[in-house]
């Protein structure tokens, strides 16, 4: 699903999602995510979502997991280099 569809199905909730179809826009220094899969749904408290994200990420660092709140209108996910410095768009 795309982010706007997810927001309609899961309003005002914390989610752990996996990016299925994504690429990096080098000019803007952003991840562009065309397709997400909802992994887990959580209520108001972000802590269980964060713990789930950490557990999944620890189990498989090659998969692209995020924990997000659906009140966020747009995905604005920056990219970091190997030294954990945020890449800046042109």
88 within domain boundaries: no
Report the distance separating Cα 65 and Cα 57, nearest Å. Answer: 7
Mean pLDDT confidence for 64-82: 87
89 within domain boundaries: no
Higher pLDDT, residue 36 or 88? 36
Q: Give me 56's structure tokens.
A: 């999944």
In terms of C-beta density within 10 A (0-12 exposed, 13-18 middle, 19 or more buried), how is residue 17 classed? buried
73 within domain boundaries: yes
49 within domain boundaries: yes
Domain that holds residue 22: 3-78
55 within domain boundaries: yes
14 within domain boundaries: yes
Segment of 8-12, 43-47, 80-84, 86-90 carrying the highest mean pLDDT: 8-12
Alpha carbon distances (Å) from 34 to 1, 25, 51, 72, 75? 8, 12, 25, 16, 10
Domain count, the chain: 1
86 within domain boundaries: no
43 within domain boundaries: yes
Mean pLDDT confidence for 73-87: 71
Whether the pLDDT of residue 23 is over 70: the answer is yes
């Amino acid at each position: 699903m795309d982010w706007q569809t997810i927001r309609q199905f899961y309003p005002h909730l914390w989610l752990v999602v996996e990016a299925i179809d994504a690429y990096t826009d080098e000019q803007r220094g952003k991840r562009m995510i065309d397709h997400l899969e909802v992994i887990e749904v959580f209520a108001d408290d972000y802590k269980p979502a964060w713990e789930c994200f950490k557990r999944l990420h620890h189990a498989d660092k090659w998969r692209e997991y995020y924990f997000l709140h659906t009140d966020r209108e747009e995905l604005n996910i920056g990219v970091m280099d190997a030294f954990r410095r945020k890449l800046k768009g042109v």
